[in-house]
Structure 1
Amino acid sequence: MNGTILSPLVVLDAAGPIGGGVVAAAVAAHWPLVAVDSDPAALRVLAAAYPQAALTLLQGCARDEATAAKLSAALRSLDLPLGGVIAAVDGELLRGRLLDLPVDASCRRFEAALAPQLAAARHLLPLLADGGRGAGYVLVGGPGGVNPWAGYGHPSVTEAALRMLARVLHGEARPLGVRVQLLSLDTPAWGVHAGLPRADWPSALDIGRHALELFGPGAPTDAIVEFSTRRAAVDRHDISTPGSDQRDARALPGTVSNTSHHEVSP
């Protein structure tokens, strides 16, 4: 599909570990992006890494109802034909047992992890629906949602809740003409949850590539897409993101030509 005109994708938490992998994969695939992050300095670093990329920078977040509404308004003001959203929201990875923490403290952790996901969906799904382009909305989930991750009780509970949130949003968004999906990891990711590479663990770049696949032709339509299953299918059939040259991440900065980036503050 080289030469295909691709609609811009919005990447939430674009300067975070997973968001950075999505951005790197999209730049390699010549996919235009709106990179959203609350840290203006991190956005400037991102712009410097990809000086020729089709990258629009937008300072903002969807931490709660108010910030999500402000972000939606800022995205609408860009007047771009958005093709979808990748919610690469990085929750704080807190180790510990559920039994060792007071209930109110545990509930605060659950809310801190899930509220941004729900706030973003509440305000960005209608924005995508108004575009009338059959857009997609992909959440990225970590390990522990199916089987508990030993020693990480709170992330395990929130990942299980995120799976159900994705299923519910998948059904509620269908009448809007938007497809909501969760790309669910069943292992830690090196460089995100753990530092050293392991052959059976994905990198942030791997996650980014597979998230982009969900916007391509022949992608699965299920509410929950298991990363391990999808990864095996991609490896087996050599499915590639539209326009992707699949080059090493070290060669990514500056791979997109004749484009520019823009910085926008709401």
Structure 2
Amino acid sequence: MIYRLSEMPFFPHPQEADPDGLLAVGGDLSSQRLLNAYSCGIFPWYAPDSPILWWSTDPRLVLFPSELHVPRSLRRVINSGRFHITVDTAFPEVLRRCAETPRPDQDGSWIVPEMKDAYTRLHELGYAHSVEAWRDGRLVGGLYGVALGRVFFGESMFYAEPDASKVAFVQLVRSLERREYTMVDCQQTTAHLLRFGAREVRRSEFLQRLALAQQYATEEGNWSELFHEKGNGVFHQL
């Protein structure tokens, strides 16, 4: 059964999703609804010509920061200092570039204009964050997502130079680990993320871990200073 959402920003239990993970349709992308969704392990994903669709996949792909795998070749790239990594310095540009990046087997971007507006609002409220990779003053890669409690919900990434988004991702995960984040929610399984050590867990386990992680206060606001404080920056060699 697929639920049709009302004007109230509430959701049915994620375990009510169909076998593909589709839980509900409709509603809006208000900040309150989005935050409620993430706190319940639900995320929006839909095509430009589709109504808003809400998902809770089973199994769920998760990366536990302590299990991050960094290939030797990527370690060399990170340690070379080829890319300068920043946090929350170019969120709108990262969002735009993610939307414009072609995806295999996708006709157009799922980051439709209303999604851009919604996540920009979450960024302004201090819940959505970006990580940027720069080279010679140019933005050449990055990613964005949402943080609640001690969970980071990854949304999308892009790169204009090889390894740029990978370096941004690795540095983010290492910083999250130092700040005692327990999970990076990858939402859907891809070979790319599996190579970094992500693994599938049952939805029931994911929801249990999510509930525990939300017992901690959310680190709201701009993360630029938070993730560059001494001993916790994103510029550490591996």
TM range (shorter): under 0.3
More strand by share: 2
Task: Tell me the TM-score normalised to structure 2 length.
Answer: 0.26
More helix by share: 1
Task: Tell me the TM-score normalised to structure 1 length.
Answer: 0.24
